[in-house]
Amino acid sequence: MGAQVIADIGGTSARWVLLRTDGTAAIERRTAGLNLATADGGEAMAQIHLFLREDVELAAATEVHAYAAGAGSAERAARLQTLLQRCWPAAHVHIGTDLAGAARSLFGTAAGTALILGTGMNAGWCSGGCITHGITSLGYILGDEGSGADLGRHLLTAALRGEVPPDLLAALFPEGIGMDQVVMHLYRGSAPQAWLAAMARPLADHRAHPFVQGLLGARFGALARVLLNELPDIRAGEVRATGSIARAFHVELEQVFSREGLRLTDVQAEAMPGLLRYHRQAAR
């Protein structure tokens, strides 16, 4: 087996790392995200072609393993494979979902519940490096409970309805917030999910505020209920999570899960380190 490109592709950003045959990893490249459920991926493709012209070693990889948001349907996975095959025409291109990537990163070949909690949310029971049972993924409008977009949506709704305490409102929205901004970014913008999720990040600086504690408890509680309803084996093993929201609020997440009888045992900010470990072992 030759050198491999390992890609962790989210809706907001993507990471590309060359795993050499000796097991060492080259400096990673970052591009715009690529979620074919919501966009055509043109920006990311342009950035990939640019760095491949600059990096002969990366361009010469013989295997590409891409784990991508929005690759859950056969049609979208095939589209992504076609796009990446144009970038690496001589390579074998393998497409997996971001949830499969999270499972391999967090558990390797062991069994348990893999949870992605970043801009969006997804989860599934995994075993042997594969997802054997996943939740129903409804996206940021109907689902994604506990995610950055979900926290941002509930915070924004409360702010617009005058339900956020004045001190917290001034800290989180120093320039104010109104429907003109909502229409521009949420209803007419190109990245509404990312815009909502960006509102969740400052909550970490105000986590002791009673309103924030209530918001986190309510939304992580909603997440726990989804997992319990859709993953019948979840109490039989550990829950391990990856993603910016899971990492930023791991204490609050663990507390809510513990009350629901769930064991959150590991939280990683990103999937890439574990993916590199998994593919090093698989190449032996």
The pTM (predicted TM-score) of the whole model is 0.87
Q: CA-to-CA distance for 114 and 156, rounded, in angstroms?
A: 29
* pLDDT at position 105 over 90: yes
CATH architecture of 4-112+271-283: 2-Layer Sandwich (3.30)
Q: CA-to-CA distance for 56 and 59, rounded, in angstroms?
A: 5
* pLDDT at position 199 over 70: yes
* Residue 245 neighbours by CB under 8 Å, 6+ apart: 117, 118, 146, 147, 148, 151, 200
- In 3D space, the residue among 99, 140, 148, 104 whose CA is nearest the CA of residue 123 turns out to be 99
Q: Is 162 exposed, middle or buried (0-12, 13-18, 19+ CB in 10 A)?
A: exposed
CA triple 175-179-181, angle to 5 deg: 55
Residue 153 amino acid letter: R
pLDDT band at 225 (very low <50, low <70, confident <90, very high): very high
- In 3D space, the residue among 106, 84, 111 whose CA is nearest the CA of residue 95 turns out to be 84
Q: CA-to-CA distance for 32 and 147, rounded, in angstroms?
A: 20
* Residue 70 neighbours by CB under 8 Å, 6+ apart: 11, 34, 35, 36, 37, 38, 76
* pLDDT at position 40 over 80: no
* pLDDT at position 210 over 80: yes
pLDDT band at 251 (very low <50, low <70, confident <90, very high): very high
- Mean pLDDT, residues 106-113 taken together: 93
* pLDDT at position 184 over 90: no
Residues of the chain with pLDDT > 90: what percent?
A: 52
Q: Is 272 left (phi over 0), alpha (psi -120 to 50) or beta?
A: alpha
Confirm if 64 and 84 have CB atoms less than 8 A apart: yes
- Mean pLDDT, residues 19-28 taken together: 86
Question: Which has more pLDDT, 134 or 181?
Answer: 134
Break the chain into its structural domains and give their ranges.
Answer: 4-112+271-283
Q: What are the distances in angstroms from CA 148 to CA 84, 145, 169, 246, 255?
A: 28, 9, 18, 9, 18
Q: CA-to-CA distance for 106 and 125, rounded, in angstroms?
A: 12
Q: CA-to-CA distance for 63 and 175, rounded, in angstroms?
A: 48
pLDDT band at 39 (very low <50, low <70, confident <90, very high): low
Q: CA-to-CA distance for 32 and 53, rounded, in angstroms?
A: 17
At residue 264, the pLDDT reads: 96
Q: CA-to-CA distance for 238 and 266, rounded, in angstroms?
A: 9
Q: Give Rg (Cα) of the chain.
A: 19
pLDDT digits (tens, 9 = 90+) for 45-80: 888 888 888 888 888 889 999 998 878 788 888 888
Q: CA-to-CA distance for 227 and 222, rounded, in angstroms?
A: 9
* pLDDT at position 94 over 90: yes
pLDDT digits (tens, 9 = 90+) for 122-166: 999 999 989 999 998 887 788 889 999 999 999 999 999 999 999
